[in-house]
Amino acid sequence: MRLFVPATLTMLETLLEDGRMPVRSGTAFAATPALVESYSEGDAEEIEHVAFLEAARASLRLLGGEVDAGAAHATHPYRRVVVSVDVPDGEVVLRPDLDTSVVRLDRPGAGGTVASAEVAAVHVDLAGAVDLVRAAVDAVDRADLGDEDAELTVGDALDADLAWYDPVELPFLLSLL
């Protein structure tokens, strides 16, 4: 199953150094049967994009947590990251109680981590999105509570496309940022 894992540049550095990346609370997003059923039209790619955007939104929360804890990436604290991974269906638990696209990794022996070999692609914000992402990090909690202006701010960041990188480019990506 293709999963979209919300991440940060700090988490990508861990992936590069350790060959494994922690998945916060084991939570990822996917084109689950419930998500597919909720759309009356749209192909698989369009529905996967919906799950991808949910992961990008979750990355905002991870960034906010890193900033608050003083653990944000030293040079680029405001870049969303989504890691696309392929894992066996049997290691994924659907969580429709949380949302239609939410899944949890259930991996005996591996915990809530993904290995470098499972990474299909890495998606990272370009420099031009940093101001939008910074504003969205500050607004995402208010948006979740129904603040319409905050939701527009988050939407502006979600409208910024993340750049696509092949997993073999990860060492170069992190060194060239």
Every domain of the chain and the residues it spans: 2-166
What are the average pLDDT values for consecutive 10-residue runs of the chain, which has 177 residues?
97 96 95 91 90 97 94 90 96 94 86 92 96 97 96 97 96 88
Give the Cα separation of 10 and 51 in Å (integer): 22
C-alpha dihedral, 177 to 17 to 170 to 94, nearest 10°: -110
Give the Cα separation of 10 and 5 in Å (integer): 14
Helix axes 44-69, 148-159, angle to 10 degrees: 110
